[in-house]
Amino acid sequence: MIDLHTHVLPGIDDGASRSAESIAMLKEEASQGVRAVALTPHFYRDRETVADFLAHRQAAYAHLLCRIEELPPEEREALPELKLGAEVTWMENCSKWEGLEQLCYEGTRYLLIEPPFITWNEAWFRDLQDLMNATGLTPVIAHLDRYLRDQKKSAIRELLSYGIPVQISAESLLRLTTRRHALELLASGDVQLLISDCHDPKRRKPNIGDALQVIAHRLGKEAAEKLAQNSEKIFA
């Protein structure tokens, strides 16, 4: 299992503020059976260039690696593998940004996109299509569960009709108010990826293990195993 959406890198966004928090989250991920973690800090095009973001990400990554090297060998070796990425906040005409492919999951053509929280309109869907057609990149939709209440059902259906990878947060399976709808999306195959979107060790902690238990109980062990396999396909 790979956690494809985390804010583990220290001091770069609203995730971990210190490397000690980062390491605590990585240890928790490992305890839940996560073998690799994608480091996907927020990228906001209106705040910095792709080049500046990559420099900041690399500095945070290097700092984290240094702190990990200071751990006892048995603790260091037990941590999940780390893979770089970014959570790219959608802005109009993002398909035309220079260097966009550098924000993809490391070694892939998959780009994690955070859709707009305003009403999805023609411009959003046109940009999404342009991203696929003009760049050859495959968008991965972040935490669909955060949009289900505010977006029109027709807009959700259109997005799902594109057949691109869609993530759902583990938290949506742990809350009674959202669990039923989350399970329906997983059972239908409309959502293929389970992520933690963890930000810190306590308030928004890694929780994939608990969500997988819910899925195994409600949809069966095979459904939980399939989700784990789907996350591996991004880096296949």
pLDDT of 94 over the 90 cut: no
Q: Which domain holds residue 36?
A: 2-233
Q: What is the pLDDT of residues 182-236, one digit of tens each?
A: 999 999 999 999 999 999 999 999 999 999 999 999 999 999 999 999 999 999 8
pLDDT at 82 over 90: yes
103 pLDDT band, cuts 50/70/90, is: very high
pLDDT, average across residues 114-134 = 93
* CB environment 84-112: b (16+ within 10 A), e (fewer): bbbbbbbeeebbebeebeebbbeebebbb
Distance from C-alpha of 148 to C-alpha of 104, rounded to nearest angstrom: 25
**CATH code: domain of residue 221:** 3.20.20.140
| pLDDT of the residue at 166 | 98
Please report the pLDDT score of residue 20 as a whole number: 97
pLDDT at 184: 95
pTM score, whole prediction? 0.96
Averaged pLDDT of the chain: 96
Q: For 145-162, how does the pLDDT look when each residue is reduced to its tens digit (9 = 90+)?
A: 999 999 999 999 999 999
State the total domains in the chain: 1
pLDDT of 76 higher than 90: yes
Please provide the distance, in angstroms rounded to a whole number, between the alpha carbons at the two ends of the chain: 12
Q: What is the pLDDT of residue 93?
A: 87
Average pLDDT over residues 168-177: 96
